[in-house]
Amino acid sequence: MLEVRNIETLYGLVMALRGVSLQLAEGRITAVLGANGAGKSTLIKTIMGLIEDQPDKGAIWLDDKRIDHRDTEEIVRLGLAFVPEGRQVFAELTVQENLAMGAYTRRGAAVRADLERVYGLFPRLLERQRQLAGTLSGGEQQMLAIGRALMMRPRILFLDEPSLGLSPLLVREIFATIARVNAEDQTTILLVEQNANMALSVCHQGYVMENGRFVLAGSAAELANDPDVREFYLGIQSEVSVKGYQRYKRKKRWR
Amino acid sequence: MRKGLILALSLALTLALAGVGVAAPVRGVSDTTIKIGQWGPQTGPAALWGSVARGTGCYFELLNAEGGVNGRKIEYFLRDDGYQPNRTKAVVKELLENVGVFGFASGVGTSPGMAVMPDMIANEVPWVGTATGSTHWAFPPKKTIFAVYPNYPDEAAILTNYILFTLKKEKIAFIYQNDDYGKGGLDGAQAEIKAHGKSLVAEIPVEVTDTDLASHVMKLKQAGAEAVIMWVLPKHAAILLGTSAKLGFKPQWVACSTLSDAPLMHKITKGLWNGVIFGNFAELPDSTSPLMVKYKAAFDKFADKKSDHWGVFFYAGFGFVEPMVEGIKRAGKDLTVDSFVKAMETLKDFKGIMGRVTYAPGERQGMREVFIGRCGEAEVTTPDGKQEKMGQAVRLSDWIAVK
Amino acid sequence: MFFQLIVSGIAIGATYALMALAMVIIYKTSEVLNFAQGDMAMLSAFVAFTLLTENNLGFPAAFAGALAFAFALGAFLEFAFLRRAKEPNVLGLIIITLGLEMILYGLASWKWGSDQKDFPFPVSDFDTHELGTVVVSDLNLVTLAVALSLMLLLFVFFRYTKAGVAMKATQQNEVAARLMGIRVNRILMLTWGISSVVGAAAAFMIAPVDTLDPNLMWTPQLKGFSAAVLGGMTSLVGAVGGGFLLGIIENLFGGYVSVEFKSVVAFAVIVVVLCLRPSGLFARHYVRKV
């Protein structure tokens, strides 16, 4: 399975990842939580080979192959699919063509079946299959981006902020689909989210990232019960003292 | 007395120094060499005419092999200007300032020549035999510039006259490149036909960049022209004849001497050149005049057969420069710009492989005659044994001088 | 006269259309205006010429060989020059194509000389058909057929084949294309190859009417570019429509208004189009958010 060993990634002179190690559990959903700018997206982009000449240090292994410093195209062909932040659908291709591009590296009857399956998962895409992707709503584009990635039949699916800019109803729908894909296909999923509530509701294990480092790791339940996570990521107020005084401002333990 | 002596001595010294008088060195001339430059389009739309400049090179090699002129070998500097006036300017600047040539031989193109003429005048650079018939070189006359090529108005007038009175066709149209070159021809034709109380039935301009001449041909056809005079590039002549053949327009085509390379024109027009009448400024390729035979031998010996054939443009490079060489010869050992100009002015009915050339003080248009030729065909066997028709110029008239 | 002008316009327009197609194909995938397009085609025409006259191949073999050369040339130029550009931006790439244009031009002048040659072609421009007063030559018809069938072929290619759709995808979002496992570099090479083939086809049609020399494609390229702008730069149908329209406008203008300004009218049309409809006459361009 995918293993990230102590990688450091530089954006020019800025160090975005400062020694990150990560091991994905086969067939599980792993979530990476963290605030804006913590380095979550950078982590995935580094894994996918989208940042040129990075990671600067460390290694990324898939099974027993080193996959860092390879072309994105080749990494994708190893079974890693990435749904980037902001959808990145092909705006001037139709929905159907977008999905066909997802299966670019594959051929045969299985592709047809997968297309049916994606349309099954997202019936709205079926209705709009001849429409240009650029004319879809944000939610539909997100569905298309996920569907397109699923057309690769990936071993590992990376999702970057799938909830961004969507209505709560749609977010729920999308996360339900993510859980379903994981359950039905045993697809390993790495989910990067700011919406910790939603992420923790579907993931099996998670990491918390701050300033380019993991500061906390654990199962979904452990994280959900961690007082710091509860306060800083889930937004649940710690209890107020009996006398009605606000307790001292909590500090994160990991600092 | 003492003062007088000093005065006398210093005077004597001055005189002595002046007497030893190392005459100021003349640019491009040493005891053993003369440097001569030329520009010519080796690339670009007019590259066909670039062989003139290579012909000149061949001529100089012949002269050098014979021992040079007055004991001086000619060093020849050929530069490609691509028929682009700005590049011509750069070429001339380089040859004058860095190489330091005595003068320029020939040089193809009216607009390239126009671009450098001011420099030539300002620096009094000898420049003989521009390979174009523009009137700008000789009118008004300039001290060091000598035109050889019969000017376009003269030639157009001769051709027009020939159409009117020998071919007896009165509906004449004129198609011309829309610049000095084409307009020069147009002026001559207009003047000649007006002198006989008629006018051209159509005057159609062609831009250098045009590649589709369908509407041009339709205008000619509509005007009902019986004869059409062309003052265009070879490329346009080919397109023009092709388009006309297609549209069923078959006038008598008459062409400027710039299109007088019959074998080549026959080839690039796929045979349509057969029957075209054109002006000629030099003997035909198969001429048996002693000079032509000698030059042909030089071609066989020195020329690069891959890029050149024994065609009129190649040996025009000899012909345009013959008067210059004659001038250098007549100027003798003491060659300066002034002695050269004086010598040139003594040329009267000088005859090389072209028409007669005459200069005088105030007269710089050397040649004022052309003869008429027609493209015929000859069967030739190609190296791989195929029978092929080749264009061949046939002489129709003697040299005709402008009246 | 009117109909003849239209027909002549369509005939010349077909060659503009082919050049426009060639330019649009590259522009579509990389937003690069390829100024070497004309000279790539010119070089291919010279290769066809050599195969025909020196190697004595038949027309089918010689043209097939030259088209294969064209494809290889296009792919090679992309591989050897454009891909090497460090931190490429569109302007830089365009300047590279300008440099390539000069290199190819020099190469052709050096190898084949700059004098005019006559380009053999199986179909003659002098075998004509008369429809009333209108004359059409066999060559015109063949040119038209080639232009239309290439357009159709490209249309099918871009619409229905995986590689074709992948080209469009690459143009629209290169990063996303990489994420689909599309080998973007190969797609670009393929693009250049195909474009070069289309340009070469145009050169084969133009050379028999014109004379073959290194300047063969100078004007056709400018006209092709104008036609492409007229058609909106990214639309294949637009490029072809623009080509025909330009040919017709030019001829009508030359016939009825002024022959003198005929060759300039193309550029006047561009200016007008760019002012009134910047996305071209035929484009239904989806405005991209940058």
The string of pLDDT tens digits covering residues B124-164 is: 999 998 888 888 898 899 999 999 999 899 999 999 999 99
**Considering only alpha carbons, which residue of chain B is nearest residue C124?**
B246
Determine contact, residues B158/B229, Cβ cutoff 8 Å.
Answer: no
pLDDT of B36 reads 95
Residues 6 or more apart whose CB falls under 8 angstroms from that of B139 comprise B364, B365
pLDDT of residue B12: 56
How far, in Å, CA of A154 to CA of C196, rounded? Answer: 36
Distance separating alpha carbons of residues B371 and B287, to the nearest angstrom: 14
Residue C247 predicted with pLDDT over 80: yes
Residue B397 CB-density burial (10 A; 0-12 exposed, 13-18 middle, 19+ buried)? middle
A215: its two tokens: 């500061």
- Residue C168: inside a domain, yes or no? yes
Instruction: Using pLDDT thresholds of 50, 70 and 90, give the confidence band for residue B343.
Output: very high
Shortest CA distance to A199 belongs to which of A227, A164, A156, A147? A164
Q: State which residue of chain A sits closest to C186, comparing Cα positions.
A: A73
Q: What is the pLDDT of residue B190?
A: 94
- Partner-chain contact C125 B242, CB within 8 Å: yes
CB within 8 Å of chain B, chain C residues 181-200? none
According to DSSP, the residues that pair with B393 across neighbouring strands are B375
Minimum Cα–Cα distance from B44: chain C residue: C215
Contact B320, B257 (CB under 8 A): no
Q: Which of C179, C181, C182 sits opposite A84 (nearest CB)?
A: C179
Q: Do C165 and A91 touch (CB under 8 A)?
A: no
Q: What is the pLDDT of residue B195?
A: 93
Encoded amino acid at B344, one letter: M
- Predicted pLDDT at C290: 34
Among the listed residues B364, B391, B124, the one whose alpha carbon sits nearest the alpha carbon of residue B237? B391
Mean pLDDT of chain A: 84
Does the pLDDT value for residue B19 go beyond 50? Answer: no
Which amino acid belongs to residue B70?
Answer: N
Q: Which helix (H) or strand (E) holds A31?
A: strand A29-34
Minimum CA–CA partner of B221 in chain C = C1
DSSP C260: T
pLDDT at B9 over 80: no
List pLDDT tens digits, range A170-192: 888 888 888 888 888 888 999 88
SS3 state at A109: helix
What's the angle, vertex CA C266, arms to CA C261 and CA C271, rounded to 5? Answer: 110
Q: Is C71 part of a structural domain of the chain?
A: yes
CB neighbour list of residue A5: distance below 8 Å, 6 or more residues apart: A21, A58, A59, A60, A61
Task: Answer yes or no: pTM beyond 0.95.
Answer: no
For residue A226, the SS3 value is: coil
Contact list in C for residue A85 (CB cut-off 8 A) is none
For residue C82, being part of any structural domain is answered with yes
Average pLDDT, chain B: 88
The reply to whether residue A101 touches residue C166, judged by beta carbons under 8 angstroms, is yes
Least confident span in B1-5, B90-94, C165-169, C228-232? B1-5
Domain membership of residue C42 as a residue range: 2-217
Asked if C12 and B204 come within 8 Å (Cβ–Cβ), the reply is no
- Counting CB pairs under 8 A, whether chains A and C reach 3 or more, is yes
Q: At A238, is the pLDDT very low, low, confident or very high (cuts 50, 70, 90)?
A: low
Cβ atoms within 10 Å, residue C174: 16
Confidence (pLDDT) at A250: 57
**Has residue B347 got a pLDDT over 50?**
yes
Whether residue C161 lies inside any domain: the answer is yes
Domains of chain B: 12-150+288-367 (3.40.50.2300), 152-280+371-401 (3.40.50.2300)
User: Which of B101, B118, B55, B92 minimizes the C-alpha distance to B312?
Assistant: B55
**Number of domains comprising chain C:** 1
Confidence at residue B23, expressed as pLDDT on a 0 to 100 scale: 55
* CB within 8 Å: A148 and C180: yes
Query: Which residues in chain A are contacts of C180 at CB distance < 8 A?
Result: 76, 101-102, 104-105, 148, 152
Of C172, C175, C288, the CB nearest to A93: C172
pLDDT at B338: 93
Residues B45-80 have pLDDT tens digits of 677 778 899 999 999 999 999 999 999 999 999 999
Tokens read off for B89:
């300017």
> Is the per-residue pLDDT at A50 higher than 90?
no
Query: pLDDT at position A233, please?
Result: 74
Q: Look at residue C279 and tell me whether its pLDDT is greater than 80.
A: no
